[in-house]
Amino acid sequence: MQTDTLTYIIISGILALVLALFQYIFKSKKTTKIYWFLAFLRFVSIFSVLLLLINPKFDKISFYDEKPNLIVAVDNSESISYLNQSQNTSDLIEIIKQNEQLKENFNLEFYTFGKSVNPSDSLNFNEQQSNIAQVFDRLSEVYNSSVSPTLLITDGNQTYGYDYEFMTKRYKQAIFPVILGDTTTYTDIKIQQLNVNRYAYLKNKFPVEIIATYNGNNAVNSQLRIVSGNTTVFSQPISFSKTQSSQIVNLNLPANRVGVGSYKAEIIPLTNEKNTVNNIKNFAVEVIDQKTNVAIVSDIIHPDLGALKKSIESNEQRKAVILNSLDFLKQSEDFQLVIAYQPTNNFRSLFKEIDRLKLNKIVITGTKTNWSLLNQLQNNYSQQLTNQTESFQPTVNQNYSTFIIDDLNFDEFPPLQSEFGETIFTVPFETILFKTVNGTQLEEPLIATLEINEKREALILGEGIWRWRAQSYLDEKSFNNFDNFIGKLVQYLSSKQRRSRLNVNYDPFYNGNDNVKITAQYFNKNYEFDANATINIVLKNKLTEDTKTFPFVLKNTNYQVDLSGLEAGEYNFVVSTSNGNISKTGELKILDYNVEQQFLNANVTKLQSLATNSEGRSYFIDNTNTIINDLLNDSRFATVQKSSKKVVPLIDWKYLLALIALSLAAEWFIRKYNGLI
């Protein structure tokens, strides 16, 4: 309590005492016990009221015990049941849940993980992917500021995500892996990895790389072959020994037919081989008969150029070349699309050549753009000349109808820099992204598309798009979403197809462990997005001729259906609206592949390294008797007594208000009873 406050309390006490004595002793000239008691009650009332006016503050200290958390993260993937460890895992979880000492000393938190992490202790071992790194990534967001030893129950075999062995640099908790499996070495040949491009070009050959590995002590011989349908398209003997435990086979296969071709790579199993599932890998290649060549033309050096080239070439069907305006004129007929990046004085001949060849184009402007020239070179739009720059952030147009746009969380993307002032369009256009300044959306496009006389064009009003690609990677740990966004824009501009009211987006083939998702957009007759449509997909298995119907669900700015539960096979499908007037057909293949069945053993070495790096300890599932005792006896995980100090003002003390009311009531009653009122 401060000295000033204490001084005010002393003065208040003296003042309350003087007033009470003055009224009942000095003024009445009586000194009986009743008057002294009334003076005391008056003193209490006055002093209490003055204390409320001063409202001193007191420190309230409370003590409490803080228990550490015990995080139990359980691998819920199919590999656990495949290694016959599902029952052992369930038994261990039950022992932990029923142990009273653990519940007394820890806050037990249970999580399961496969491709994602979920707070649950319900196990079914049906996850088709396992991402152990994401366990530490997600838990670090919640538990890094507390003491939270982590019990990781897994076989250590990861099929998705980053390498988890070094995640302890971010996750600052002791990790205790429980290893599901043993160290027994079985004789096994498997296709460790198969690398192939998703696309090939008609009448070309496409490369295939196969990495085969061997576990065993004896020299063995087998046969590697690749089959398409009932035809063997490649065959080669393959040998292994204890010293030569891996081989890399490179080959080229012909692309003779347009469409999706399915292949099966197989190593003939050994007679004593326990796991033959990992001897086979299915893959597919889509053969196309054309390739889009894109010219990125710029007379300045800018990181946007490299970002655009990378995004465009992420699709094997496209190739991008960075040229200056003079070099483009020498080979202009080699391209189907031109990206004119920040037109300068040298672009006059470039635009004439684009018009002569009737090429579609993307025009990207920025701080180095010669808008005076660009306004003269075309009549579709014009920019106010202010000689000032502005930064614009993007906001997605929910009603964009030309093709499907996924919202990549554009609102959080870095701004693009461009000329300050309004861009005036003289032709019809559609906005993909609006400009936003300081959180206020302008009714002006940041990215727009237009179609005039069967020629298509896109306008991007800002430089710095390389930052968008980098931001997309930070958000998603992948460039795929941003590259798909640029890819759709390039596909639209390089295509001559007419606009459709129903757009369907899908891949021609999926691996068995992939998420099989198809998206669609539907527009009314005015080409406005219809959020109230009923869209269904009818799939027919080509082999069994079984037919299944699934509804699309509205999600953000498009409709989506998840077909991840479908069995492997080839399917024809029809996507149609409820009235059946508009429909789209297609084909897709789901490849038979289960990555979780590729393992024979637990990854003991990596899990033991994880325990060592985090100052934890590893255990085998068959030797878990000491886990609970080790956790209970570890001094790092003792319950800690903590205190909290809370400053409480006197006005919050209800007992003082009750005391004032009681003293005033008692004073009134005594005076009334003795006839003093």
Quick check: 308 pLDDT over 90?
yes
* Percent of the chain at pLDDT exceeding 70: 95
263-300: per-residue pLDDT in tens?
889 999 988 887 788 888 888 888 877 778 899 999 99
Task: Output DSSP code: residue 422.
Answer: P
Which CATH number does the domain housing residue 561 bear?
2.60.40.10
- Looking at residue 41, its pLDDT comes to 84
Q: Is 170 contained in some domain?
A: no
First to last CA, the chain: 41
- Looking at residue 463, its pLDDT comes to 92
Looking at the fold, whether 7 and 137 belong to one and the same domain comes out as no
pLDDT band at 21 (very low <50, low <70, confident <90, very high): confident
Looking at the fold, whether 218 and 149 belong to one and the same domain comes out as no
Give how many domains the chain has, as a whole number. 5
Looking at the fold, whether 451 and 431 belong to one and the same domain comes out as yes
Looking at the fold, whether 445 and 318 belong to one and the same domain comes out as yes
Closest CA to 605 of 314, 243, 144, 183: 183
Looking up tokens 């920019």 gives 383
Q: Is 172 contained in some domain?
A: no
CA distances from 55 to 16, 49, 654 (A): 16, 10, 13
Quick check: 236 pLDDT over 90?
yes
Q: Given strand 188-196, what is the order of strands in its sheet? A: 188-196, 205-215, 246-254
Q: Is 182 contained in some domain?
A: no
Quote the tokens at residue 399. 């009603």
What pTM did the predictor assign? 0.58
Quick check: 218 pLDDT over 90?
no
Question: Where do runs of H (alpha helix) occur along 495-639?
Answer: 604-613, 627-633
User: What is the pLDDT averaged over residues 395-406?
Assistant: 81
Closest CA to 261 of 270, 253, 269: 253
Quick check: 1 pLDDT over 60?
no
Q: Is 42 contained in some domain?
A: yes
373-400: per-residue pLDDT in tens?
998 888 889 888 888 888 999 998 887 8
Quick check: 352 pLDDT over 80?
yes
- Looking at residue 593, its pLDDT comes to 67
Q: Is 177 contained in some domain?
A: no
Quick check: 314 pLDDT over 70?
yes
559-602: per-residue pLDDT in tens?
999 888 788 888 999 999 887 678 888 888 887 766 666 676 78
94-124: per-residue pLDDT in tens?
999 989 899 889 999 999 998 888 888 778 8
Closest CA to 21 of 12, 31, 11: 31
Looking up tokens 């109808």 gives 401
DSSP per-residue string spanning 115-153: SSEES-------BS---HHHHHHHHHHHHTTS---EEEE
Mean of per-residue pLDDT scores for the chain: 85
**Which parts of 556-677 are beta strand (E)?**
558-562, 569-577, 583-590, 619-620, 640-649
Looking at the fold, whether 467 and 614 belong to one and the same domain comes out as no
Looking at the fold, whether 374 and 519 belong to one and the same domain comes out as no
* Percent of the chain at pLDDT exceeding 90: 23
- Looking at residue 526, its pLDDT comes to 65
Contact 543/569 with Cβ under 8 angstroms?
yes
**Which parts of 216-359 are beta strand (E)?**
220-228, 231-240, 246-254, 259-267, 280-288, 292-297, 318-323, 337-341
* Strand partners for 539: 548, 573
Q: Is 169 contained in some domain?
A: no
Looking at the fold, whether 366 and 232 belong to one and the same domain comes out as no
133-163: per-residue pLDDT in tens?
889 988 988 888 889 999 999 988 888 778 8
Quick check: 19 pLDDT over 80?
yes
**Domain end marker among 478, 494, 510:** 494
Quick check: 608 pLDDT over 70?
yes
- Higher pLDDT: 39 or 351? It is 351
User: What is the pLDDT averaged over residues 125-130?
Assistant: 82
- Higher pLDDT: 370 or 56? It is 370
In angstroms, rounded to a whole number, what is the distance separating the alpha carbons of residues 308 and 313?
9
User: What is the pLDDT averaged over residues 420-430?
Assistant: 88
Looking at the fold, whether 654 and 634 belong to one and the same domain comes out as no
- Looking at residue 227, its pLDDT comes to 92
**Domain end marker among 254, 288, 322:** 288
Looking at the fold, whether 271 and 215 belong to one and the same domain comes out as yes
613-660: per-residue pLDDT in tens?
899 999 988 878 788 888 988 888 887 777 677 777 777 777 778 888
- Looking at residue 42, its pLDDT comes to 85
- Looking at residue 267, its pLDDT comes to 92
Looking at the fold, whether 410 and 472 belong to one and the same domain comes out as yes
Looking at the fold, whether 618 and 538 belong to one and the same domain comes out as no
Q: Is 49 contained in some domain?
A: yes
63-91: per-residue pLDDT in tens?
767 889 999 999 988 888 888 888 889 99
Q: Is 171 contained in some domain?
A: no
Looking at the fold, whether 507 and 451 belong to one and the same domain comes out as no
Q: Domain range spanning residue 140?
A: 68-159+606-638
**Domain end marker among 257, 288, 319:** 288
Contact 76/153 with Cβ under 8 angstroms?
no
Which CATH number does the domain housing residue 99 bear?
3.40.50
Q: Which value, in Å, is the radius of gyration of the alpha carbons in the chain? A: 37
